[in-house]
Chain A
Amino acid sequence: MEVKNIKVKSMKPEDFKDTEYLEQYVEELRNNGVGIGLGVLDDFINWSRSHSVWPLTFATACCGIEFMCVGAARTDFARFGWEVTRNSPRQADVIFVAGTIVHKMAPVLKRLYDQMAEPKYVIAVGGCAISGGPFKNSYHVVQGVDKIIPVDVYVPGCPPRPDAMVYGMMQLERKIKVEKFFKLPCRKKEENPSSDNNLSETK
């Protein structure tokens, strides 16, 4: 699907930044095959998956307080359906890495991420999770959580406002909406008939 057609309720598509990343992502997915006739089912599945993302209760430091504010009454992430925070990683969909990750905590985070059930996502909240933040020169701080686990959305700030975290959630929603659930090898577009990385044609 075209990236500019992604609908997020009450936000205009032009208000979102970093659409180039999504377009690149869509290109990559498309190179692995396009679902024929299952596009509608894909859309339905993506719609449901993007509107029902359950976070894991995980907060290490100051950003955790702003995460609690996102769940509280003023900025209410329950409106998006995200308020079912699960304590068990097996039942959670997204892990908001809110707070600094230090050397001692790194194995714990990796283990939690591995215990989560697919499909799973990671949102790195705050400067510390993105790159070490204010603690860039410290001997015990991991310089960015993407050194240990793959990250889907980065939300900058120290700490980011709850509204910024909600924006990050909506970006994740957009990303989920362009994913392909049914990946079938099928007829590739005939632009490069002799390209190397094409898949076998289906009947």
Chain B
Amino acid sequence: MLELDNLVSNVHTGLMEALPHWAALTIEYILIGVLMLALYCVLALILIFLERKICARFQCRLGPNRVGPWGSLQLIADMVKILLKEIVKISKSDKILFFTALFLALIGSLCTFGALQFGKGLAGIDFNVGIFYVLSISSLGVVGILLAGWSSNNKYTLIGAMRSGAQLISYELSAGLSILTMMILAGSLNISDIINGQAHSWYIFQAPLPALVAFIIYLIAGHAETNRGPFDLPEAESELTAGYHTEYSGIQYGMFYLAEYLNMFIIAGIATTVFLGGWQPFQINADWAAGFNEVMSYIPSYIWFFGKAFMLVLLSLWVRWTFPRLRIDQLLHLEWKILMPISLVNMLVMAVWVVLFF
């Protein structure tokens, strides 16, 4: 009843009938692009606001509360202010790379965002190597960060960028391995197939032991991928001033800021899709629970998706505001000597599990 898939398919058929094929497709692409961008920005604003309020709660204080009711308009003020700041031109930097770097970071983030399925029928793109596409396009962000740090012509940013590059490349391995572990269970790289395969119970319940281990590893590695929490050494505020984005000002800095928060959401989104059932409601795979399942499926699918993703985001914020940060060699030690061997072994365990129980 509150699902949007009927609306989407009606719009699609309406356009197809009214206009020639190419025109309808073009309009659809433009519409989807605009919707994605709007959702990207709105989500970023909500996330930043949530972070400030939740971090304040952890620290026994109030967050922004003067600008609009409960401070809800604070982010609008921040956004307008950032748009109006002067963009300082650095004289000795590599101008083309300086300008391109942030677009690379943003594009990587946006393209990954486009692959997420927000609800029934609410998919931007859906093709047969969905997960593979997601894992590979998110690595564009690494290039963006490295270029940003290098082209600023600043020793601090260079150190920050080098650290960041090492960190991101390392943790992509563990993240990728955990996802691949779940692909063994799912049997397909297509995101729709993955979600449909969880219609009766989520993957994390279908293969509890290896899936749980993969889930935890994915959350840790994803956290490190987004330069947040105990892994935020590249932008360590107390050490390197502001890390790789020290020399950016105005809207350029705003874009980095936005991309960071959205990356956090994207990691949560991918974890939701692969481990927690995507937009599928919580179903218990037993006959006595038929009534419960019915009730659960009344809640619209996009509420499920965003609810699960925001739970994971909350977990991410909690970890970030509690723990101190790891040093670069401890970070890399964690990845190469602890997480990666465990992921490899876990993959074997999952393979054995699938053979035995499916």
| Complex Cα spacing A9 to B70, Å | 13
Tell me whether B66 and A88 are in contact (CB under 8 A).
Answer: no
- B62, B67, B85, B247: the one contacting A51 at CB < 8 Å is B67
CB distance from B70 to the nearest CB of A (A): 11
Given contacts A90-B248, A91-B249, contact A73 B81 (CB under 8 A): no
Binds A, one of B52-60, B118-126, B334-342: B52-60
Q: Which of A47-101 contact B (CB under 8 A)?
A: 47-49, 51-53, 72-74, 76, 78-81, 83-84, 86-88, 90-91, 93
| Complex Cα spacing A141 to B65, Å | 39
Measured between beta carbons, the chain B residues less than 8 angstroms from A91 are: 242, 248-249, 253
Chain B interface size, under 10 / 10 to 19 / 20 to 34 / 35 or more: 20 to 34
Which among B63, B76, B81, B247 has the highest number of chain A CB atoms within 10 Å? B81
Tell me whether B59 and A52 are in contact (CB under 8 A).
Answer: no
Chain B's closest residue to A78 (CB) is B63
Tell me whether A90 and B249 are in contact (CB under 8 A).
Answer: yes
* Cβ of A45 under 8 Å from chain B: yes
Measured between beta carbons, the chain B residues less than 8 angstroms from A163 are: none
Measured between beta carbons, the chain B residues less than 8 angstroms from A76 are: 56, 61-62
Tell me whether B80 and A49 are in contact (CB under 8 A).
Answer: yes
Chain A interface size, under 10 / 10 to 19 / 20 to 34 / 35 or more: 20 to 34
Measured between beta carbons, the chain A residues less than 8 angstroms from B248 are: 90-91
CB distance from B82 to the nearest CB of A (A): 8
Measured between beta carbons, the chain A residues less than 8 angstroms from B245 are: 88
Tell me whether A90 and B253 are in contact (CB under 8 A).
Answer: yes
Tell me whether B66 and A51 are in contact (CB under 8 A).
Answer: yes
* Cβ of B74 under 8 Å from chain A: yes
Tell me whether A47 and B77 are in contact (CB under 8 A).
Answer: yes
Tell me whether B237 and A78 are in contact (CB under 8 A).
Answer: no
* Cβ of A29 under 8 Å from chain B: no
Which among B61, B62, B74, B253 has the highest number of chain A CB atoms within 10 Å? B61
Given contacts A76-B62, A79-B64, contact A87 B237 (CB under 8 A): yes
- A73, A93, A181: the one contacting B61 at CB < 8 Å is A73
Chain A's closest residue to B235 (CB) is A87
Given contacts A73-B59, A73-B61, A118-B85, contact A48 B249 (CB under 8 A): no
Chain A's closest residue to B76 (CB) is A48
Tell me whether A45 and B80 are in contact (CB under 8 A).
Answer: yes
| Complex Cα spacing A176 to B85, Å | 14
Tell me whether A86 and B242 are in contact (CB under 8 A).
Answer: yes
Measured between beta carbons, the chain B residues less than 8 angstroms from A184 are: none
Measured between beta carbons, the chain B residues less than 8 angstroms from A51 are: 66-67, 74, 77
* Cβ of B241 under 8 Å from chain A: yes
CB distance from A175 to the nearest CB of B (A): 15
CB distance from B279 to the nearest CB of A (A): 34
Chain B's closest residue to A44 (CB) is B80
Tell me whether A9 and B242 are in contact (CB under 8 A).
Answer: no
* Cβ of B88 under 8 Å from chain A: yes
* Cβ of A117 under 8 Å from chain B: yes
Tell me whether A79 and B62 are in contact (CB under 8 A).
Answer: yes
Per-residue A-contact encoding for B26-64, CB less than 8 Å = 1, 0 else: 000000000000000000000000001000100111111
Beyond known contacts A49-B77, A76-B61, A86-B242: 17 more, CB 8 A cutoff: A45-B80, A48-B77, A48-B78, A48-B79, A52-B78, A52-B81, A76-B62, A80-B66, A81-B77, A81-B78, A90-B88, A90-B247, A90-B253, A91-B242, A91-B249, A117-B88, A118-B86
The 6 closest A-B pairs by CB, nearest first: A48-B80, A88-B242, A90-B249, A48-B77, A118-B86, A73-B61
Can you list 19 A-B contacts with CB-CB less than 8 angstroms, sorted by A residue number?
A10-B66, A44-B80, A48-B79, A48-B81, A52-B77, A53-B81, A73-B60, A74-B61, A78-B61, A78-B64, A80-B66, A81-B67, A83-B52, A88-B247, A90-B247, A91-B253, A93-B85, A118-B86, A119-B84
